[in-house]
Amino acid sequence: MASRKKAVREEQGTVDGESLEFVRASPGVEGVVSAVGYRASGLTPGLHIGMPSPYLTLIFSFDGPVTTGLTPQQAVGGDAARTDIVVGALQQGPAYVVQPERQAGIQLAVHPLAARALFGAPAAELTDEPVTSGADLLGARAEAVRQQLAEQADWADRFATLSAYLRARAAGAGRTERVRPEVAEAWAWLARHRGAGTLHGLAGHVALSPRRLTALFRAETGVTPKQAAGLMRFEHAKAALVRAVVRGEALDLAGVAADCGYYDHSHLVRDFRRFAGASPTAWLAEECRNIQAGGHRNGEGLEP
């Protein structure tokens, strides 16, 4: 993830007695669009909302397993998912993550079309559950890498270790099937349009019928082009709201809605309730500590 000397940019803060540290690395592995190391202590135990994203999530936890569920009740119940290496699929709703008193790890945002190279399977095969055990998916080597990361004291060393591991996986993926070019171009078209545009316009662009494109797209990514477009549009809206908070600007939900391709302010609020389980203002209030400490920035610098 870039050279070791340029590997990390740190942001630290103490908010209401909580110590928060976020360390960003410049991605240097094809298909990895962002990488953030995190360490926190003094947290109030509770539940954190894991937001849907147009990217897959890969987490290597250093401080015990990450515990998640599709509902608050599942997250704190006996059927919660618990794993030290998290692989998260493209989801259409929030996940609920148990927040312990302390936590540390590295979280990556991975392009879904890189799943074959990095995970050995298309992203569509990850959608049966919101979270897949990375140790089961990636094998014993991934767990050995996680333990090595936990033992290393320097963030730059950690990112270098993880970069080398992921590059080795990608280099060994030459035998896997390639992503169909129509699907790759369809994703790129949606990204360029920030989730705007019509299915017929997209299908015409890649010279397929809407039905055929939808089938191929879903078989690769696990979501339809319309669902992927919704995730992209929501991601841009969420980022715009966070930027306003960081700059100390007044929230302009109507302006954000218009800029990000929503029909109106109400459409944006409905998407927030669907994807985040809360209104935009309620979600921002809940995430205030992470935003103030720089934790909102995982996933920045993706496609424009």
* Predicted pLDDT at 5: 40
Residue 156 domain-assigned (yes or no): yes
Residue 105 domain-assigned (yes or no): yes
Residue 302 domain-assigned (yes or no): no
Mean per-residue pLDDT, 10-34? 79
* Predicted pLDDT at 302: 33
Q: Check whether 3 has a pLDDT greater than 50.
A: no
pLDDT digit string, tens, across residues 250-294: 889 999 999 999 989 999 999 999 998 889 988 888 776 566 555
Of the pLDDT bands very low, low, confident and very high (cuts 50, 70, 90), residue 52 is: very high
Residue 46 domain-assigned (yes or no): yes
Q: Read off the CATH number of the domain in which 125 is found.
A: 2.60.120.10
Alpha carbons 69 and 46: distance in angstroms, whole number? 13
Q: Check whether 47 has a pLDDT greater than 60.
A: yes
Residue 123 domain-assigned (yes or no): yes
Residue 98 domain-assigned (yes or no): yes
Q: Check whether 63 has a pLDDT greater than 70.
A: yes
**With pLDDT > 90 as the criterion, what percentage of the chain qualifies?**
64
Q: Which amino acid is at 152?
A: Q
Residue 144 domain-assigned (yes or no): yes
- Written as one string, the DSSP assignment of 3-37 is -GGGSEEEEEEEETTEEEEEEEE---STTEEEEEE
140 vs 175, which has greater pLDDT?
140
Of the pLDDT bands very low, low, confident and very high (cuts 50, 70, 90), residue 303 is: very low
* Predicted pLDDT at 194: 93
- C-alpha dihedral over 78, 143, 24, 249, to 10 degrees? -10
Of the pLDDT bands very low, low, confident and very high (cuts 50, 70, 90), residue 2 is: very low
Q: Which amino acid is at 275?
A: F
Residue 146, token pair as written in the block? 């996680």
Alpha carbons 291 and 3: distance in angstroms, whole number? 27
Check: CB of residue 115 under 8 Å from CB of residue 55: no
Mean pLDDT of the chain: 87
Q: Which amino acid is at 285?
A: A
Domain count within the chain: 1
* Predicted pLDDT at 20: 83
Q: Check whether 244 has a pLDDT greater than 90.
A: no
Rounded to the nearest 5°, which phi and psi values hold at 76? -105, 5
Check: CB of residue 202 under 8 Å from CB of residue 186: yes
pLDDT digit string, tens, across residues 191-231: 999 999 899 999 999 999 999 999 999 999 999 999 999 99
Residue 246 domain-assigned (yes or no): no
Q: Check whether 237 has a pLDDT greater than 90.
A: yes
Residue 69, token pair as written in the block? 């569920």
CB count, 10 Å around CB of 172?
Answer: 11
Which range marks the domain in which residue 148 is found? Answer: 4-174
Q: What does pTM read for this prediction? A: 0.89
pLDDT digit string, tens, across residues 160-169: 999 999 999 9
Query: Comparing C-alpha atoms, which of 78, 87, 69, 74 is closest to residue 132?
Result: 87
Check: CB of residue 44 under 8 Å from CB of residue 289: no
Alpha carbon separation from 236 to 183, 195, 260 (Å, rounded): 22, 9, 7
